[in-house]
Amino acid sequence: MTLSLTQDELDGQGVALGRTLQPGELVTFEGELGAGKTTFIKAVARGLGVTTPATSPTYALVHRYHGARGPVFHLDCFRLRCPDEAADLDWEGLITEGDAILIEWPERAGVWIPTPTRRFRLHHLPDPERRGLELL
């Protein structure tokens, strides 16, 4: 099922999702550039109790936020030049420490990403104000 959502609606869905995530979930977000992955993830983070705006430099692969229950990790794999670069990430540490691990561009990390608990895909729609959101 695909939802067609305005940015406000997508924010609402993200916050709601963040509130329902169980400790330790790993969630992936697929979709082309500008599809709304970062927008959605920031809302999910708010639902997890993250109050600080994301100030991390955009070139960082891993962003760490303070959630209500523990660290929330946001990975953006866009800049990986090849999937094997993801092998160098401390997946074990992220899994052990993270209350949630939210991953953009999981395709770019190939086989190195541990099995997600949920997978989402976002995409553009003919209406530029809306995005499609799909639970895979």
Give the nearer residue to ligand ADP in terms of CB position, either 69 or 124: 124
Which one of Mg ion, ligand ADP, none interacts with residue 86, CB within 5 to 8 A by kind? Answer: none
List the interface residues with Mg ion, window 16-75 (CB under 5 A). Answer: 37-38
Which among 99, 106, 94, 90 is positioned nearest to 44, based on CA atoms? 99
Q: Which among ligand ADP, Mg ion, none contacts residue 34 (Cβ within 5 to 8 A by kind)? A: ligand ADP
**Distance separating alpha carbons of residues 134 and 56, to the nearest angstrom:** 27
Choice between 69 and 130, CB closer to ligand ADP: 130
53 binding ligand ADP? (CB under 6 A): no
58, 49 contact by CB (below 8 A): no
Token reading at 110: 């190939």
Q: Considering only CA atoms, which of 39, 40, 47 is closest in space to residue 19?
A: 47
Rg of the Cα atoms in the chain: 14
Least separation, in Å, of the C-beta of 23 and ligand ADP?
25
The three-class DSSP label of residue 109 is helix
Residues that bind Mg ion (CB under 5 A): 37-38
Residues that bind ligand ADP (CB under 6 A): 5-7, 10, 31, 33-39, 104, 129-131
